Each structure stands twice: as structure tokens, then as C-alpha cells.
């Protein structure tokens, strides 16, 4: 099956798809990247037929992270991080719980599975519309306790201005360095325990270097801003997290359930014969086997969380800064503020964060023995 004409046919068949994707994905990203390095939108004629566009290098990125007026973008980034962590964490936990429950072969298992999974088939616009109604400050969820004779809750879903876990943006480089030190140190310790000293040293060296840099060097004192600027977790995001978890936790359930059901019964039996209680079987036999599933779920949910747009747009509206995320501010900056270059820069930042999550996964596809 390797005749020349066959190979030619194979290449000719896949060529149109490759060309389309080359243009629609890589070509268009390249164009956005180029726009992000210009000043398109700074001058008056941003929307002229032939707008005057100049190259400004990384200026737009610099101002996003350190500019006085781009404070909203920074809070949006913080919102996005908190949203991602909470949404992914809650979906995993709830999904695991649901999967374990379904795995008990309770009567009506199929019905329950259908119920937990149906939100996945809805459009985010539908979900957003429904939950906007559910989370009205004086009704819906807040009025739920009154059905049981309890006082109504008055939590301001989506509009609370309370911020917890506040931190100073000036100190961000230092925090990031410390986080880097922690990750590298943990990696080094893991390999040390495994007895792979060379690999451990490979991780330990940059950890020490970074530690020196942040503790005594410039990184510890470098401030992104000349003045303190606090950011934190907006409690208003909880409403969005709630709706998103409702929609996606059934999905993690399905992933885990499929995982649980590929575990051969002999393994469980063996553990039970050894005297393990059902809980112990889960803890020591099944959970470790589900670890790879957890990783792929993190990748999938994580990139959805980073890109989240429709849901916030439909639920809280584009102008609700407490629940805003970079995908929203990119849309507003570009199409309402006419700042095409800044909007493109936000898009590129977003793309880089998604890429940081996805590229390791894609690279794993290239490992020997996979994908031809």
C-alpha cells in the first residue's frame, strides 16, 4: 500500500484541509499578531479605508500589564485565573462524585446519567439566559430558602463588589518567581526520591537560581507599577462558576465513568480479597488509575475556562466589570473602543495562555508510537 500514485492521492486528499487550516488558523493568527504590534486605533482614522498604521513593537503589551489605564484588563486576567481554578476544580470534584455514584449500579442509573449530562447539550447562550433569571438578586436561587420557611438569601450573584484574597499587582513578578521556585523544587524532590539524581539536579539548579533572583536579586524588588494596585477574587464570579459547573460537570462525570468502567474487576476483587474496604478500594485502587483522566479533563476544561465568552456575555452582560474576562474586554476594546491593536494584543495574550495549556498535550501526540 505504498505505491507512488496512492501516496500522491493521499496527499492530494488531505491538501485542501491543510491549506484551509493554514489560512484560517495560522494565517489569521499571524495577522492578529502583526496588528498587536502596531498602533492601529491610536490615531483618529482607525476606521479609514486605508488607516495609518505604524509599528510600535511590544508597546501594547507593556501598557496592558503596566499601563495606568489598563487596570480593567489586569483585573480581567485575575478574574480569569480564579474562574478557571474554581470552575475546573469544582467540575472535577463534582464530576468524580457523580461518576462514583452512578458506578454503584443504583436502580435508574441510566436516567440519572441522562439528567447529569443533559446541560452539556445546551448552547451557552441558553444556559446564560436561564441562569440570569435564576440568579436575580431578589428571586430564583436567593428566594429558594423561603420555600422552606427560611429567610431569603441576599447574596448578590454577579453584582457583588466584594473582593477577597486581595494582592498587590506590584508584587506579581515576585509571586510568580516564588511559584516557579516551588514548582521546580517539588519536581526536584520527586526525582530525588525516585533516585534519578541527574534529573533532580536539572530542576534544582534553576530553582536555586530563581530563588537567589527573587530573594536577593532584582526580581524581588521589580515592580510592574509605580504605585500599589490591588486585585483579588470578585465574589460576583461565583454566579458564573455555578452556571458553568452546572453545564460541564456532567461531562467530567462521563469521562470518569468511562475510566472507572475500564478498570478490570480483578483489580478491585484482588484489593477486596486483601481486606480493603470499599472506600479504600476507591482511594488506593481506582483514584490513582483515574489520574490520567484528570489530566485530560484539566486540559479540556481549562482551555474552555480561559476562552469563556458566550456565557458571561449572556449572563452578566459585557459591561459588568466584576465578572469580566479578557475575552470580553478584547471584544469591547476592539469593537467599541476602536482600539484594534490593543484588542489584538489581548487576543494574543489569551492565545498564549491557551497554548501554554494545549501545546504540551499536542506535543505528547508526537511521541514515538503515536499518530503514525
Partner 1 sequence: MRTKLWVVLVMSVVMLLVSATALAASQPLSGKLEIFSWWAGDEGPALEALIKHFEKMYPNVQVINATVTGGSGVNARAVLKTRMLGGDPPDTFQVHAGQELIGTWVVAKRMENLNSLYKEEGWTKVFPAGLVKLLSTSQGIWSVPVNIHRSNVLWYIPENLKQWGVKVPATWQEFLEIAPKLKAKGIVPLSMGETWTAEHLWENVAISVLGPAKWQQLWQGKISFRSPEMLEVWKLFGEILKYTNQDAPSLSWQQATDMVVKGKAAFNVMGDWAAGYMNTTLHLRPGTDFGWAPAPGTKGIFVMLSDSFGLPVGAPHRATTLAWLRMLGSREAQDIFNPLKGSISPRLDSDLSKYNVYGQSAAKDWRSSTIVGSLVHGVVANERFMNDFATVMEIFLNSRNPQAAANASQAVATQDGIIH
Partner 2 sequence: MRASAQERMGTAQGTIQAPETQAALPAGRAQAAPAMRTARRPRHGWTFAFLYALVVLLAIVYLIPVYMTVITSLKAPQDINLMTAWRPPAHPYWASYVQAFRQFAPTLRNSLILAVSATLLSAMMGSLNGYVLAKWGFRGSKWALPLILFGMFIPYQSILIPLFQFLRSVGLYGGLPGLILVHVVYGLPITTLLFHNFYVEIPDELLGSALIDGAEFFKIYRWIILPLSAPAFVVVGIWQFTQIWNEFLFAVTLTRPAFQPITVALANLAGGNAVYWNLPMAGSIIAALPTVLIYIFLGRYFIRGLLAGALKG
46 sits near partner 2 (criterion: CB under 8 A): no
151 sits near partner 2 (criterion: CB under 8 A): no
Where in 216-255 is the site for partner 2 (CB under 8 A)? 246, 248, 250-251, 254-255
User: How near is the Cβ of 123 to partner 2 at its closest, in Å?
Assistant: 3
322 sits near partner 1 (criterion: CB under 8 A): yes
Q: Total residues contacting partner 1 (rule CB under 8 A)?
A: 40
User: How near is the Cβ of 7 to partner 2 at its closest, in Å?
Assistant: 6
258 sits near partner 2 (criterion: CB under 8 A): yes
The interface mask with partner 1, positions 218-237, x = CB under 8 A, is ------------------x-
From 143, 284, 336, 360, residue interacting with partner 1 (rule: CB under 8 A): 336
CB-based contacts of 280, cutoff 8 Å, min separation 6 = 271
161 sits near partner 1 (criterion: CB under 8 A): yes
Q: Which is nearer to partner 2, 181 or 308 (CB)?
A: 308
Query: Does residue 46 contact residue 40 with C-beta atoms inside 8 Å?
Result: yes
138 sits near partner 1 (criterion: CB under 8 A): yes
CB-based contacts of 199, cutoff 8 Å, min separation 6 = 191
From 158, 172, 207, 297, residue interacting with partner 1 (rule: CB under 8 A): 158
End-to-end CA distance of the chain: 15
Q: Which is nearer to partner 1, 165 or 371 (CB)?
A: 165
Report the SS3 class of residue 55: strand
71 sits near partner 1 (criterion: CB under 8 A): yes
From 57, 262, 275, 319, residue interacting with partner 2 (rule: CB under 8 A): 262
Nearest CA among 56, 31, 33, 52 for reference residue 43: 52
Query: Does residue 356 contact residue 34 with C-beta atoms inside 8 Å?
Result: no
Query: Does residue 157 contact residue 141 with C-beta atoms inside 8 Å?
Result: yes
Query: Does residue 351 contact residue 342 with C-beta atoms inside 8 Å?
Result: no
Where in 327-366 is the site for partner 2 (CB under 8 A)? 327, 330-331, 334, 340, 344, 347-348, 350-351, 354-355, 358-359, 361-366
157 sits near partner 2 (criterion: CB under 8 A): no
Neighbours of 69 (CB within 10 A): 7
Enter the C-alpha cell of residue 1: 500500500
**d(C-alpha 314, C-alpha 83), whole Å:** 16
Enter the C-alpha cell of residue 27: 494565517
What distances in angstroms separate CA 52 from CA 40, 47, 61, one per listed residue?
A: 7, 10, 20
140 sits near partner 2 (criterion: CB under 8 A): yes
**d(C-alpha 166, C-alpha 172), whole Å:** 12
How many CA atoms are closer than 13 Å to the CA of 322, on its beta-carbon side?
A: 18
From 32, 66, 199, 320, residue interacting with partner 1 (rule: CB under 8 A): 320
From 62, 72, 268, 272, residue interacting with partner 1 (rule: CB under 8 A): 72
316 sits near partner 1 (criterion: CB under 8 A): yes
Angle at 256 between CA 252 and CA 260, to 5 degrees: 170
> Which stretches of the chain bind partner 1, using CB under 8 A?
41, 44-49, 51, 68-69, 71-72, 135-138, 156-159, 161, 163, 236, 313, 316-322, 331-339
Amino acid at each position: 500500500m505504498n505505491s507512488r500514485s496512492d501516496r500522491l492521492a493521499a496527499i492530494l486528499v488531505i491538501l485542501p484541509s491543510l491549506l484551509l487550516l493554514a489560512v484560517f488558523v495560522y494565517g489569521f493568527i499571524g495577522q492578529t499578531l502583526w496588528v498587536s504590534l502596531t498602533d492601529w486605533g491610536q490615531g483618529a482614522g482607525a476606521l479609514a479605508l486605508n488607516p495609518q498604521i505604524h509599528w510600535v513593537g511590544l508597546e501594547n503589551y507593556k501598557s496592558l500589564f503596566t499601563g495606568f489605564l489598563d487596570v480593567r484588563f489586569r483585573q480581567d486576567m485575575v478574574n480569569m485565573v480564579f474562574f478557571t481554578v474554581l470552575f475546573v476544580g469544582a467540575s472535577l470534584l463534582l464530576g468524580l462524585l457523580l461518576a462514583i455514584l452512578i458506578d454503584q449500579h443504583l436502580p435508574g442509573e441510566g436516567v440519572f446519567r441522562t439528567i447529569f449530562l443533559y446541560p452539556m447539550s445546551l448552547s451557552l447562550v441558553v444556559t446564560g439566559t436561564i441562569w440570569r433569571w435564576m440568579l436575580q438578586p431578589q428571586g430564583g436561587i436567593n428566594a429558594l430558602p423561603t420555600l422552606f420557611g427560611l429567610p431569603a438569601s441576599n447574596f448578590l450573584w454577579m453584582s457583588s463588589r466584594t473582593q477577597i484574597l486581595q494582592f498587590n499587582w506590584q508584587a506579581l513578578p515576585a509571586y510568580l518567581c516564588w511559584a516557579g521556585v516551588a514548582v521546580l523544587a517539588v519536581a526536584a524532590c520527586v526525582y530525588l526520591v525516585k533516585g534519578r539524581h541527574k534529573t533532580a539536579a536539572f530542576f534544582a539548579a534553576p530553582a536555586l537560581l530563581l530563588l537567589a533572583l527573587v530573594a536577593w536579586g532584582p526580581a524581588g524588588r521589580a515592580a510592574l507599577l509605580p504605585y500599589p494596585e490591588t486585585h483579588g477574587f470578585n465574589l460576583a464570579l461565583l454566579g458564573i462558576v455555578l452556571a458553568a459547573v452546572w453545564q460541564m460537570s456532567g461531562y467530567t462525570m462521563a469521562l470518569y465513568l468511562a475510566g472507572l468502567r475500564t478498570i478490570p474487576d480483578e483489580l478491585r476483587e484482588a484489593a477486596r480479597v486483601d481486606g480493603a474496604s470499599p472506600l479504600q478500594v476507591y482511594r488506593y485502587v481506582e483514584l490513582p488509575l483515574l489520574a490520567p483522566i484528570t489530566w485530560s479533563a484539566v486540559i479540556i476544561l481549562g482551555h474552555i475556562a480561559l476562552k469563556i465568552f458566550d456565557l458571561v456575555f449572556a449572563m452578566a452582560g459585557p459591561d459588568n466589570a466584576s465578572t469580566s474576562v479578557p475575552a470580553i474586554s478584547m471584544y469591547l476594546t476592539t469593537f467599541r473602543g476602536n482600539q484594534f491593536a490593543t484588542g489584538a494584543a489581548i487576543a494574543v495574550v489569551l492565545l498564549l495562555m491557551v497554548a501554554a495549556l494545549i501545546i504540551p498535550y499536542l506535543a505528547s501526540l508526537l511521541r514515538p508510537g503515536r499518530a503514525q
